[in-house]
Amino acid sequence: MPPDAPDTPENGAPAAAGASGQVGPPEALLRATRRLLGPLVRLLLEHQITFPVLANLLKSVYIEEAERGFALPDRPQTISRLTLLTGIHRKDVKRLQSEANAAPVPPSVSLGAQLVLRWTAEPAYLDETGRPRSLARLAASGETPSFESLVESVTQDIRPRAILDEWLRLGIARVDAADRVELTERAFVPAIGLDEKAYYLGRNVRDHLASAHHNLTAQANPFLERSVYYAKLRPESVAELQTLSREAGMDALQRVNVRARELQLADEGESDARHRMSFGAWFFRTGESDSHNNADDPEGSDENR
């Protein structure tokens, strides 16, 4: 059976009235929002982030998005209009505008991403199958390239040993008995490190939701946003599918990664080289004992979507 339904928008531009003619928020969208917020709220509770903290953050995001996406042509965005759009009191709008600041990228993410980009995308660092090869730890070994030369090609400010120690702590790399450095993943995905993992949570899920928003509202050219869904599987079957998903997903990511790096280098310096893209694959599993299992998910044993 095919994967889930084609990426065809179910609706055109957002409407003021639903299919039944009533005015108000679309019920289907509210239900979807409730479902997608569940895992986020659970994560926030685990880290003692209470509702008042989230509510204040949401106010700030509402204001930012209203300013960014709902400005009137040739007219300044006023506090009164932001209050009208968001439902947030004008005093809060004014206060939050003055407090707005961009979330910093953890230094280990910024530098690590550059290093892993080269290691996973540039031909000098790939083996004959197109996968990132292990590198001699030291340039003194005589092997080119080495992990040391890789780091020095990106930064002269931080010692390669310091970066390697941090990568070993985060579970990004390992050193074998021959003193060669290997990536544990073909992407920068720390095994530990809350700051690093939280950064990728925000970036990846943001782009996934932005893709879904486009598909719900755009009239044409929908983005790829698919998943395969099966229920009523034994744990061993799900474990096999988890391994298959990881392998297939990483192969797809590596293929896109290599080509994206080639195009990025070719586009460098062009006046219209101002766009960005992202591509992702994901896997999730749960069981009957999981209290967050959604009751409205179909449970057919041969179902996918």
> How large is the average pLDDT for residues 246-257?
88
Is the pLDDT higher at 108 or at 40? 40
Quick check: is 267 in a domain? no
pLDDT bin (cut points 50, 70, 90) of residue 301 is very low
Is the pLDDT higher at 210 or at 288? 210
User: Per-residue pLDDT for 131 more than 50?
Assistant: yes
Q: Would you say 9 and 215 are in contact if contact means Cβ atoms under 8 Å apart?
A: yes
**Count of structural domains, the chain:** 1
Quick check: is 144 in a domain? yes
User: Per-residue pLDDT for 214 more than 70?
Assistant: yes
146-197 pLDDT tens trace: 999 999 998 888 899 999 998 898 888 999 999 999 998 655 566 667 777 7
pLDDT bin (cut points 50, 70, 90) of residue 103 is low
Query: What pLDDT is attached to residue 295?
Result: 46
User: Per-residue pLDDT for 2 more than 60?
Assistant: no
Give the residue numbers spanning the domain of 152.
107-183
Query: What pLDDT is attached to residue 193?
Result: 72
Query: What pLDDT is attached to residue 293?
Result: 45
User: Per-residue pLDDT for 291 more than 80?
Assistant: no
Lowest mean pLDDT among 97-106, 180-189, 234-243: 97-106
Structure-block tokens of residue 252: 């797809």
Query: What pLDDT is attached to residue 212?
Result: 86
Structure-block tokens of residue 213: 């928003």
Q: Residue 154: phi, psi to the nearest 5?
A: -110, -40
Lowest mean pLDDT among 48-52, 158-162, 217-221: 217-221
66-84 pLDDT tens trace: 988 898 888 888 999 999 9
Q: Which residue has the tokens 């609706």?
A: 11
Query: What pLDDT is attached to residue 66?
Result: 92
Q: What angle do CA 79, 82, 86 make, to 5 degrees?
A: 145
Distances (CA, A) of 49 to 106, 261, 284: 20, 38, 24
C-alpha to C-alpha distance for 24 and 41, rounded to whole angstroms? 25
User: Per-residue pLDDT for 136 more than 50?
Assistant: yes
Instruction: Give the sign of the dihedral formed by CA 117, CA 122, CA 128, CA 129.
Output: positive
pLDDT bin (cut points 50, 70, 90) of residue 12 is very low
16-42 pLDDT tens trace: 444 445 567 889 889 989 998 988 999
Give buried/exposed letters for 274-304 (b at 16+ CB in 10 A, else e): eeeeeeeeeeeeeeeeeeeeeeeeeeeeeee
Quick check: is 168 in a domain? yes
Quick check: is 92 in a domain? no
Query: What pLDDT is attached to residue 186?
Result: 57
Quick check: is 148 in a domain? yes
Query: What pLDDT is attached to residue 71?
Result: 85
CA 8 to chain centre: 22
Quick check: is 99 in a domain? no
